[in-house]
Amino acid sequence: MRIEYDIKLGFKNVMIRPKRSTLKSRSEVNLERDFSFMHSPLKWNGIPIMAANMDTVGTFKMAQALYRQKLFTTIHKHYSVKDWTDFLKNTPNDLTNYIAVSTGTSPKDAKKLKEVFLACPQLNFICIDVANGYSEYFVAFVNKTREQYPDKVIIAGNVVTGEMVEELLLAGADIIKVGIGPGSVCTTRVKTGVGYPQLSAIIECADAAHGLGGQIISDGGCTTPGDVAKAFGAGADFVMLGGMFSGHEESDGELIERDGKTFKKFYGMSSETAMKKYVGGVAEYRASEGKTVEVPYKGPVENTIQDILGGLRSTCTYVGARRLKELTKRTTFIRVEEQENKVYKE
């Protein structure tokens, strides 16, 4: 046993210090980024915010809404091949630059991925997603996927430490998904005691990835636009959101009416709800590591996007970053023991 004594930080432990700036208005801030990738020859331009590949969030409808503003959706893995072909028939061509096909690592998942690409070869992004990205089997799967799809952009995760980021990039991934335990409907930290505070995970993993020419996605833990800004400030190239994109018109999930109020169901992909839906229940050897909650219905996601992008532009203005790309360089975090004043609730 060993203890690391340097303190690891989450979003709630810091704020961003304002800096003198020449920017006059938020409208001068450019949130778009251009990326080229470590393995794939594809070039990407857009606002690097992503909807999570959860079945209530990473939906085709969400992808259409996010694409309009150049945001990205990792589509959940439960659509059929026919769903995919039907969807792509009625969408503009360049939408394929703003969506990823998600997959797990079982032989069944690999077969389905192959079928999706046979039917829809115009897709460009693959998101290989497992709860624990630390297994040799996962690295081998990433490697095999790179061999099979040499030109596609491969996203792989989740991990939280630099050495594993490097290993996955060298195995063929272009972008590494970072986050174990911070998610809004995640109970991994409670059930297993395993995790890593998200802000420190981003800082350490970004450093490892950028050294090799790869990118990272900060996945999980953002509850406000300010958290999204902190994730970018810490060095995330992309920020993935589950809970913040849940409960919208474009999210899937039952609408629930109670006492004149409307809610939508939202649940973790390893929750009992998800396992019952897709694999017939929680297998005996494992515990569910996700919650099922009801979130207040939030209407069209467009309003939430405005809120997030408005906040992010404002952060950039406070620190003098004319482009999102400059935000990390201009960020100084201060450690704090307070966040917002909660005396009045909205």
- Choose, by CB under 6 A, the member of 167, 237, 252, 289 that binds ligand 5GP: 289
Instruction: Verify binding: residue 251, ligand 5GP, rule CB under 6 A.
Output: no
For residues 36 and 90, what is the distance between their CA atoms, to the nearest angstrom? 28
Instruction: Verify binding: residue 171, ligand 5GP, rule CB under 6 A.
Output: no
Q: Kindly tell me which of 8 and 26 has the beta carbon lying closer to ligand 5GP.
A: 8
For residues 142 and 161, what is the distance between their CA atoms, to the nearest angstrom? 17
- Choose, by CB under 6 A, the member of 72, 197, 290, 308 that binds ligand 5GP: 290
Instruction: Verify binding: residue 253, ligand 5GP, rule CB under 6 A.
Output: no
- Choose, by CB under 6 A, the member of 103, 198, 271, 317 that binds ligand 5GP: 271
Site string for ligand 5GP, 36-55 (x = CB under 6 A): ----------------x-x-
Query: Which 8-state DSSP code applies to residue 7?
Result: P
Instruction: Verify binding: residue 71, ligand 5GP, rule CB under 6 A.
Output: no
Cβ–Cβ < 8 Å for 57, 298: no
Q: Kindly tell me which of 168 and 321 has the beta carbon lying closer to ligand 5GP.
A: 168
Residue in the structure block whose two tokens are 């990473």: 58
Beta bridge partners of 264: 255, 295
Phi-psi region of 161 (alpha: psi -120 to 50; beta: other; left: phi over 0): beta
Range 240-266 burial, b when 16+ CB lie within 10 A, else e: bbbbbbbbbebbbbeeeeeeeeebbbb
Instruction: Verify binding: residue 188, ligand 5GP, rule CB under 6 A.
Output: yes
Q: Kindly tell me which of 229 and 240 has the beta carbon lying closer to ligand 5GP.
A: 240
Instruction: Verify binding: residue 304, ligand 5GP, rule CB under 6 A.
Output: no
Instruction: Verify binding: residue 282, ligand 5GP, rule CB under 6 A.
Output: no
- Choose, by CB under 6 A, the member of 102, 103, 270, 317 that binds ligand 5GP: 270
Range 13-52 burial, b when 16+ CB lie within 10 A, else e: bbbbeeeeeebeebeebebebebebbbbeeebebbbbbbb
